[in-house]
Structure 1
Amino acid sequence: MKLKTLIAALSIGTLFSCSVSSQSLSKADKLPKPIQLFNGKDIKDWTPKIRLHEVGENYANTFRVEDGLLKVRYDGYDNFNQQYGHLAFKKPYSYYLLRVEYRFVDQQSKGGEGWAWRNSGAMLHGQDPKTMLKDQDFPISIEGQLLGGDGKNERTNSNLCTPGTNVVVNDKLFTPHCLSSKSKTYHGDEWVTAEFLVLGDSIIQHILDGQVVLEYNKPQIGGGNVSNFDPAQKTDGKALTEGYIYLQSESHPIDFRKVELYDLSPYKTDQNKLKSTIDKLLSRK
């Protein structure tokens, strides 16, 4: 599938051009069933990787399941000390729609940086957690930021950050670390639904309240903003066609009540079917 053709077909103007209720779908138009990455019971399908600790060590029970929620907590930390944490799902994906429901709660951990207040993320196209080194701070990945407001000031949500990666924005290689979206601010402890449409190495869209707030393409390994990694894992210029999905721990407590994924890989060779399926998934309430 040609990149320009795909981007044109999935542009913001056409992606939301139709509204279809789930009740009106015929049997021939069955949608893919969501894969519940978080089962509401445990994190056996996930691998923690926390800076300064070995792969698989869930230091201080940072990631835990309580009351049917996947929680990120720091009550076992004396000081956060840049112990950035990431929780990776057990298998990589390439073409998908990821839907995450989250809320920020409580107070930031002692020692957390100011920029990390009400800050978490969904890491897309991430490296295999088994390849991360003990002192590595972030997985080489594309980050869809999850951000909360302070009740007064504006702060866009679902921004982009690029640890060890670059993307193309408006046909130009984007090399700065972060790019703000055009979203509204989400204040308080309300539940927020963030969606990420990821189509291999062609196009990625960040979606809030049914609206695309950020769009880019050609994700690839490159640039900086990741430390203490294995050089063998960072081949600059290599296209990111698939990868692991991570949830982030950056010093502020956060709850996740849903982490689900619609696998779109069966449709990637049929542009019309792909677009139709995406339209219907995004129009569902």
Structure 2
Amino acid sequence: MNTIYRLLLVTLFFVSQNNQAQKRIALFNQKDLKGWYAFGEEKGKTNNADELFSVENNMIRMFGPKAGYLMSEQSFRNFELTVEYRWNTDVNVVRKNNNKNSGVMYLVPAETPDILWPKGIQFQIKEGATGDFVFLQETTLNINGTKTTPGKSVVSKRFADAEKPIGEWNQLVIISKNGVITQKLNGKTVNQGTESSVTEGRILLQYEGFPIDFRKVNIKKSK
């Protein structure tokens, strides 16, 4: 009986550990920017992210006359990241330009310096190009058996379009598992590659000049 009891405890322990690994973590609490810091081309890095960006109606609202980003304080290795976004078309909101261009970066190494834009991989959010890979600061990935060329900013085009009309909410999903990267948009796989040169890092939300809203920034760790 004792042996059976011990086996049961061990089984329950591993089930609990697996459930924890699969638990979805909210990186944005829909109240404030706790867990993030901001970087702007004028102010540089600020640990008080509210100095650059704001939270309103459970959304992160990114706008203003200067480009910048929000960076997660935590780093992640194997994960599934889910982010919802939409373009903010309110003409009264301050903007740097009218080019609908932004992105979600991931696997930004903890040691990389804060610049526009740092090392890592970007899920491109751009009118007519959403879903493209952008490899920044020498980052590489194998796509269809060919390694991308290292460079400051290298684009690999999506192989499917799935973005919703401007003003509607979109859901992007990024899966990173032992160097294999998959990008999905609104339920459709839009890009994929293997043997990523970066396998662990932080999450970054970009503001490149056109107002954009983010919500439901969640991550699920995997083994």
Greater share of strand residues, 1 or 2? Answer: 2
Give the TM-score normalised by structure 2: 0.80
Task: State yes or no: 1:168 paired with 2:158.
Answer: no
SS at match of 2:199: coil
Q: CA deviation at 1:131?
A: 4.6
Quick check: which one's helix share is greater? 1
Distance in 2 between the 1:252 and 1:69 partners? 16
Structure 2 match to 1:263 = 221
After superposition, the C-alpha distances for 1:71-91 in whole angstroms (9 at most, x for unaligned) are: 1021xx3xx4xxx31211111
Q: Which amino acid aligns with 1:174?
A: T
Q: CA deviation at 1:118?
A: 1.8
How many angstroms apart in 1 are the aligned matches of 2:175 and 2:185? Answer: 11
**Residue 192 (str. 1) matches residue 170 (str. 2):** yes
Identity %: 26
Name the SS of the counterpart of 1:91 in structure 2. strand
The answer on whether the counterparts of 2:163 and 2:185 sit within 8 Å (CA) in structure 1 is no
Unaligned runs of 5+ in 2: 1-15
2:113 is aligned with 1:132: yes
Partner of 1:20: none
Question: What is the deviation of 1:188?
Answer: 1.6
Separation in structure 2 between the aligned mates of residue 39 and residue 60 of structure 1, nearest angstrom = 14
Tell me which amino acid in the other structure corresponds to 2:85. Y
Would you say 1:33 and 2:23 are equivalent positions?
yes
Give the 5 Å matches for 1:62-211.
62-74=52-64, 77=65, 80=66, 84-106=67-89, 107=91, 111-112=96-97, 117-128=99-110, 131-133=112-114, 136-148=115-127, 155-164=128-137, 165-175=139-149, 177-181=154-158, 182-200=160-178, 202-211=179-188
Q: Is the 8 A contact 2:71 2:202 kept in 1?
A: yes
Structure 1 stretches lacking a partner, 5+ long: 1-26, 149-154, 221-239, 266-285
Length, aligned pairs only: 201
**1:152-185 CA deviation, whole Å, 9 max, x = no partner?**
xxx2422111111121111211127112212234
Using the size of structure 1 for normalisation, the TM-score is: 0.63
Distance between the aligned counterparts of 1:216 and 1:109, measured in 2?
37
Q: How far has the Cα of 1:140 moved from its partner?
A: 0.6
Root-mean-square deviation (CA, aligned residues, Å) is 2.7
Q: CA shift at 1:32, angstroms?
A: 2.2
